[in-house]
Amino acid sequence: MSAQQSIRFDGQVVVVTGAGRGLGAAYARLIAARGGSLVVHDAGVAQDGTGFDPSVTDTVVAEIAAAGGTATACYENLEDSGAGERIIECAIRHYGRVDALVNNAGLVVFASLAETERIVWDRMVAIGIRAPFDLARAAIPRMRAQGYGRIVFTTSGRAMRVEDCVPGLTAYAAAKMAQVGLMVGLAAELSGENIHVNAVSPVAATRVLRRNAPELAPDLVAPGVAFLASSACVASGAVLLASGGRFRGAWWDRSDTVDLGPTPASPEAVATHWSRLRPP
């Protein structure tokens, strides 16, 4: 697009999950300010996923309305069966369509593998994998019917490189990388249709990353997500790394091929060339 063209969401309906606080609230406010009608979803749960506080979502909806925007609240608990379908139905019921889906909601539980009991694992899977899958599955038929759609998943740098991870995040990393798999699979399935699927890997000072760091404000990530959710984004299958106003695109890389011949090589031969097989 030309430098003179503004990215707008006039006439479009955007669903943002986990939008009652932090990153999700920043995404919702920015997209609403650019003309989008928002479904602000948040169950208002505590950091461990328990409880319910509708005022968390209502506050963001009120902020958007006070600024002249349009938004409605949705309080579904993503752990509940059918929550994804009900969130998309909320968009259809209020606005008649859904143009973009931003899967922002997440849960972080620090626990070693031995400490990750089945109830913790099931909660991570429900929020980090099943909910984004169900939301996409509910939204895509509507997007196909209208010939347009954008989907944004959320992954994490913690999940993509050993160097960036810390102990206790095995379940979290698994859930976040699952969203990369959803992105890749859907991008391939929807190739040729005007429905583009990408992911964001954000770093921001929120109640998850608790620090007093104005340079990591969620508002500094929001422009990247607004772009991915807009008609200006016509690519699929990319991960946008976003932190403190700095953005990078990420795709899987591969090393150069080492040809060990047409007959089975020895494990020792593979070991000998291991340094060449590792991506740069």
What is residue 40's three-state secondary structure? strand
Split at pLDDT 50, 70, 90, the class of 207 is low
Residue 225 lies in a domain: yes
Indicate the helix (H) or strand (E) that contains 224. helix 222-228
Q: How far apart are CA 171 and CA 88, in angstroms?
A: 27
Q: How far apart are CA 263 and CA 256, in angstroms?
A: 20
What is residue 104's three-state secondary structure? coil
Listed in sequence order, the residues at least 6 apart from 161 whose beta carbon sits closer than 8 Å to its beta carbon are: none
Helix 118-125 and helix 170-189, axial crossing angle in degrees, nearest 10: 30
Looking at residue 114, its pLDDT comes to 94
Looking at residue 206, its pLDDT comes to 63
**For 154-175, how does the pLDDT look when each residue is reduced to its tens digit (9 = 90+)?**
999 888 887 888 888 999 999 9
Residue 224 lies in a domain: yes
Which is nearest to 8 in space by CA: 238, 229, 236? 229
Residue 268 lies in a domain: no
Split at pLDDT 50, 70, 90, the class of 228 is very high
Which is nearest to 226 in space by CA: 14, 60, 65? 14
Residue 6 lies in a domain: no
| Cα distances (Å, whole numbers) of residue 200 to 47, 65, 78 | 21, 27, 20
Residue 270 lies in a domain: no
Number of domains observed in the structure of the chain: 1
Q: Give mean pLDDT, residues 106-120.
A: 92
**Per-residue DSSP letter, 256:** P
Residue 278 lies in a domain: no
**Cβ–Cβ under 8 Å, residues 26 and 60:** no
Residue 147 lies in a domain: yes
Q: Which domain holds residue 82?
A: 13-253
Residue 237 lies in a domain: yes
- Its pTM stands at 0.92
In terms of pLDDT, which residue wins out, 136 or 254? 136
Do strands 246-250 and 239-243 pair parallel, antiparallel, or not at all (unpaired)? antiparallel
Give CA angle at 249 (247, 159), nearest 5°.
95
**For 209-218, how does the pLDDT look when each residue is reduced to its tens digit (9 = 90+)?**
555 677 889 9
Looking at residue 46, its pLDDT comes to 75
Catalytic residue (one of 27, 75, 95, 172):
172
Indicate the helix (H) or strand (E) that contains 173. helix 170-189
Question: Residue 187 sits in a domain of what CATH number?
Answer: 3.40.50.720
Q: Give mean pLDDT, residues 240-245.
A: 93
Question: Is pLDDT above 70 for 195?
Answer: yes
148 is an active site residue: no
| Cα distances (Å, whole numbers) of residue 271 to 143, 236, 275 | 48, 36, 8
Give CA angle at 23 (22, 29), nearest 5°.
95
